[in-house]
């Protein structure tokens, strides 16, 4: 029984270690991409990449890992979900009209749109003038 719990614990810590390694690889690729885009592929940029990578990946990983993960989540659109969840959902319930309240409302809007198209087509038709 104890060995089963230890196996689950080691499995979980190995998974976290693997995810940390994958995140560090993405951070390293981001650093390389950023430096090469701004400085080009020069010996100076290689020195900058090595220095920044050592600083970010090993010395202060506890801080930069979380910041980078938050940055990736925000750039992938998670921020839109968070804003909808925390702010927009709190503003509802004031009797605001929805874009489409029901199927009847949708049918009425479609009929109005069809009438407007027919009127526009009738006005755009060329008329013959009598001489």
Q: How many CB atoms lie within 10 A of CB 29?
A: 10
Contact 31, 52 (CB under 8 A): yes
**Model pLDDT, residue 21:** 84
- Percent over 90 (pLDDT), the chain: 15
How many residues in the chain?
131
48-79 residue pLDDT tens: 999 988 888 888 888 888 888 888 877 877 77
How far, in Å, are 11, 14, 16, 52, 92 from residue 6 at the CA level?
Answer: 8, 12, 15, 37, 48
CA distances from 130 to 16, 49, 124, 126 (A): 85, 82, 18, 13
Question: Locate tokens 């909808």: which residue?
Answer: 84
- 25 near 55, Cβ under 8 Å? no
Domain ranges of the chain: 2-79
- Cβ–Cβ contacts within 10 Å for residue 110, how many? 10
Please compute the mean of the pLDDT values over residues 88-108 and round it to a whole number: 65
Q: What is the mean pLDDT of residues 3-30?
A: 75
């Amino acid at each position: 029984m104890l060995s089963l719990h230890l196996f689950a614990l080691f499995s979980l810590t190995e998974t976290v270690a693997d995810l940390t390694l994958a995140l560090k690889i993405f951070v390293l690729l981001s650093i390389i991409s950023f430096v090469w885009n701004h400085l080009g592929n020069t010996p100076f940029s290689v020195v900058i990449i090595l220095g920044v990578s050592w600083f970010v990946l090993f010395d202060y990983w506890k801080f930069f890992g979380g910041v980078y993960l938050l940055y990736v989540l925000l750039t992938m659109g998670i921020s839109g979900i968070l804003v909808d969840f925390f702010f927009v959902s709190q503003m509802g319930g004031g009797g605001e009209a929805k874009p489409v309240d029901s199927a009847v409302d949708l049918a009425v809007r479609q009929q109005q749109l069809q009438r407007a198209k027919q009127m526009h087509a009738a006005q755009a038709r060329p008329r013959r003038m009598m001489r």
